[in-house]
Amino acid sequence: MTAGPTTVPAHEPAQGRAKDADPGAGTGAGAGRDAGGGGAAPAEPGPEGGDPFDRDALPAPAGATGALLRSLLAPRRARVVFAAVLLLLQQAAVQAGPLLVAYAIDRGVPAFRAGDHGPLVAVAAGYAVCAVGAGVLQYGFIRASARVNQDVLLDLRGRIFRHAQALSVDFHERYTSGRLISRSTTDVESLQELLSEGLQELIGVVLSFVYISAMLLWLDLGLGGVAVLSFVPLYLLVRLYQRRAKSVFMTRSTAIAAVIVKFAETMNGIRPVRAFRRERANDEVFAGLNHRHERSNGDALLEMARYVVGSRLVANTAVAAMVLWGAYRVASGTLALGVLAAAVLYLRRLYDPIDRLGMFLNSYQSAAASLEKIAGLLAQVPSVPEAERPRELPARRGGPGAGREVVFEGVGFGYRTGGEVLPAFDLTIPAGQTVAVVGSTGAGKSTLAKLLARFYDPTAGRVLLDGTDLRDLSLRELRRGVVMVTQEAFLFSGTVAENIAIGRPDASRTEVEQAAKAIGAHDFIAALPDGYDTDVRKRGGRISAGQRQLVAFARALLADPAVLILDEATSSLDIPGERAVQHAMDTVLRGRTAVVIAHRLSTVEIADRVLVMESGRIVEDGAPAELIGGDGRFAGLHRAWRESLLG
């Protein structure tokens, strides 16, 4: 077959290329850098501080946090109102207690002495009713609010997952999975803490402040005045504590995020960690982060302790002053004993939760901070968005298994974090052609493949599939149009059959087995403990890297895409299996348009056309035989390969 028509290698050499790693290679260099990384805490703001991705939180647009909260609560508005009413009534029932005590002392006891049991019995009955009522109301409130809380948390976790999954590859390259985990665990939990206890207590405290102050002022203006006056130092104390605790809490939340990030990155990159014996160094870094978290926890507790001591001091002073003054007035006959007793009871109730008020305010604050971080994440928009008016392609000419034409039209590309990687170029791959792409590491082969698979959108130009811009295609059409198989050959938890069926979820078991047979994976799958039903994450389900690649091939074959991209997808298949590999390749490529990136000479030889890439540009383009016959780069590479095979 002849070489493809157009290749216009363009202009000057590309700039700003990384010298060492090949991020396209996944588990290799990229993960190794993260996992083996140096001493600095990953979640800390970098010294440059310019990139928001260097910080733990992405900036949330103004009002996003409030809008998020509203959107979470809005569908449950009726229940929220119901819970609030229950809480109001419950507080009223609870706060009736001391008033009844006052009545019992001042009216009930004298009446009882005079032989009238009525008032005392009435008070006792009232007390019982209030106690039972408060209990019932509290139960109702807990039920109603727990439903709301659970719904909100479920909703929020779901949103984080769906949103993160929908975000583009370049987002995930910059926002580590550790941070995502910390968003959907620690941050959701801090909201949970607030919703499940903090908010109730906080509202309870505010309500009891209002109720009790009103009650005290009504009972006795002077005593009420003492109570209200004591709010001033308490308020100042809370403010002071809030200010001091805020920074401690910020440090603490960043510290725990750093612990999670380090943890996740190390375990994700466990192979390079082992390979480079990074365990001890990682232990040290982790111990440092862990200690930092512990210290910030200690600091938080210390602040808390200071606050508690201070608030108790104020509370006890106020009670003492009230008892002293009240006793004088009772003695001089200007105050009823029952009123004094009620006032002291009220005051105790008032101050009791103040100890914990600081804590609730903290949980409120840390929940607000967490919500803001989540809102920042949810505000991210995919850089590779789904088409607004998605287009479908006409049926493939030649039916299933046939290819489609691929055109790169003036395509140029640079990653967000770096300079230009691919200078503008044109390339047309006719339907059904198999193109091998060769070139040294970092030449841009994987980048070209990722543009074709629409992991990224080009910075300039368009990528067309049978004449339609990839950006205009519906997700379904894109999925059927282009499939990329990479070196990693990732398997999801589940059975082998399920993993193959990912290519086409509605495929029958027979079709799954047919695909596996065609690829040459059937024998090893049949030999697994449960055959096709073997769970790939369970004992006995462990399959080798090469076998994983065969599963990935079967998955791709079942998916039956018009364009198949293999990015070093045969690198884990060993040389003795060469013929099997060849067979698998032939099967999966037949009829389709294919882009094959490979170091393997035999793979290149089955191609219709070879592209040689260098520094982001296509420097040679032709049929294999034609290029080998010439004296270009590929001819040189080919000679070296041959010699290495012979020697």
| Chain positions contacting ligand ADP, by CB under 6 A | 17-18, 22-24, 173, 415, 417-418, 421, 439, 441-447
Query: Candidates 20-28, 280-288, 364-372, 613-621 — which segment interacts with Mg ion by CB under 5 A?
Result: 20-28
Residue closer to Mg ion, measured from CB, 434 or 446: 446
Q: How far is the CB of 51 from ligand ADP (least distance, A)?
A: 13
Separation between Cα atoms, residue 309 and residue 9, nearest integer Å: 75
CB count in 10 Å sphere of residue 644: 9
Q: How far is the CB of 15 from ligand ADP (least distance, A)?
A: 10
Q: CB under 5 to 8 A by kind: which of ligand ADP, Mg ion, none does 481 bind?
A: none
Furthest C-alpha separation in the chain:
125
Q: CB under 5 to 8 A by kind: which of ligand ADP, Mg ion, none does 160 bind?
A: none
Q: How far is the CB of 406 from Mg ion (least distance, A)?
A: 19
Instruction: Give 403-450 as a DSSP string.
Output: ---EEEEEEEEE-TTSSEEEEEEEEEE-TT-EEEEEE-TTSSHHHHHH
Residue closer to Mg ion, measured from CB, 170 or 560: 170
Separation between Cα atoms, residue 147 and residue 140, nearest integer Å: 11
Long-range contacts of 39-43 (CB under 8 A, 24+ apart): 39/284, 39/285, 39/288, 41/258, 41/262, 41/289, 41/292, 42/176, 42/178, 42/258, 42/261, 42/262, 42/265, 43/178, 43/179, 43/254, 43/257, 43/258, 43/261
Q: CB under 5 to 8 A by kind: which of Mg ion, ligand ADP, none does 310 bind?
A: none
What is the Rg, in whole angstroms, of the alpha carbon atoms belonging to the chain?
35
Residue closer to ligand ADP, measured from CB, 17 or 163: 17
Separation between Cα atoms, residue 461 and residue 410, nearest integer Å: 5
Residue closer to Mg ion, measured from CB, 24 or 310: 24
Q: CB under 5 to 8 A by kind: which of Mg ion, ligand ADP, none does 262 bind?
A: none
Q: How far is the CB of 415 from Mg ion (least distance, A)?
A: 13
Q: CB under 5 to 8 A by kind: which of ligand ADP, Mg ion, none does 426 bind?
A: none
Q: CB under 5 to 8 A by kind: which of ligand ADP, Mg ion, none does 247 bind?
A: none
Separation between Cα atoms, residue 187 and residue 257, nearest integer Å: 10
Q: How far is the CB of 480 from Mg ion (least distance, A)?
A: 25
Q: How far is the CB of 33 from ligand ADP (least distance, A)?
A: 12
Contact string (CB under 5 A) for Mg ion, positions 216-235, x = contact: --------------------
Pairing of strands 563-567, 593-597: parallel
Q: CB under 5 to 8 A by kind: which of Mg ion, ligand ADP, none does 28 bind?
A: none
Q: CB under 5 to 8 A by kind: which of ligand ADP, Mg ion, none does 418 bind?
A: ligand ADP
- Nearest residue to 170 via CA among 493, 421, 481, 491: 421
Q: Copy the structure tokens of residue 594.
A: 């294919």
Our finding on whether 547 is near Mg ion (CB under 5 A) is: no
Q: How far is the CB of 25 from ligand ADP (least distance, A)?
A: 7
Q: How far is the CB of 442 from Mg ion (least distance, A)?
A: 8
Residue type, 217: L
First to last CA, the chain: 31
Give the residue at shortest CB distance from Mg ion.
Answer: 446
* Size of residue set near Mg ion by CB under 5 A: 2
Q: CB under 5 to 8 A by kind: which of Mg ion, ligand ADP, none does 36 bind?
A: none
Our finding on whether 24 is near Mg ion (CB under 5 A) is: yes
Q: CB under 5 to 8 A by kind: which of Mg ion, ligand ADP, none does 415 bind?
A: ligand ADP
Residue closer to ligand ADP, measured from CB, 17 or 55: 17
Q: Which residues pair with 272 in a beta bridge?
A: none
Query: Candidates 22-30, 75-83, 114-122, 625-633 — which segment interacts with Mg ion by CB under 5 A?
Result: 22-30
Residue closer to ligand ADP, measured from CB, 363 or 447: 447
Q: How far is the CB of 414 from ligand ADP (least distance, A)?
A: 8
Query: Candidates 21-29, 129-137, 387-395, 454-462 — which segment interacts with Mg ion by CB under 5 A?
Result: 21-29
Q: How far is the CB of 513 from ligand ADP (least distance, A)?
A: 34
Helix (H) or strand (E) holding 102: helix 77-103
Residue closer to Mg ion, measured from CB, 24 or 414: 24
| Residue 468 half-sphere exposure toward CB, CA atoms < 13 A | 18
Angle at Cα 187 formed by Cα 417 and Cα 204, nearest 5°?
150
How many helices (H) and strands (E) the chain has is answered by 24, 10
CA 7 to chain centre: 42
Residue type, 14: A
Q: How far is the CB of 597 from Mg ion (least distance, A)?
A: 6
- Nearest residue to 108 via CA among 324, 363, 292, 337: 337
Residue closer to Mg ion, measured from CB, 315 or 435: 435
Residue closer to ligand ADP, measured from CB, 450 or 480: 450
Q: How far is the CB of 50 from ligand ADP (least distance, A)?
A: 16
Q: CB under 5 to 8 A by kind: which of Mg ion, ligand ADP, none does 23 bind?
A: ligand ADP
Burial of 83 (0-12, 13-18, 19+ CB in 10 A): buried
Cβ atoms of residues 178 and 260 within 8 Å = yes
Our finding on whether 446 is near Mg ion (CB under 5 A) is: yes
What SS3 state is found at 61?
Answer: coil
Binding site for Mg ion (CB under 5 A): 24, 446
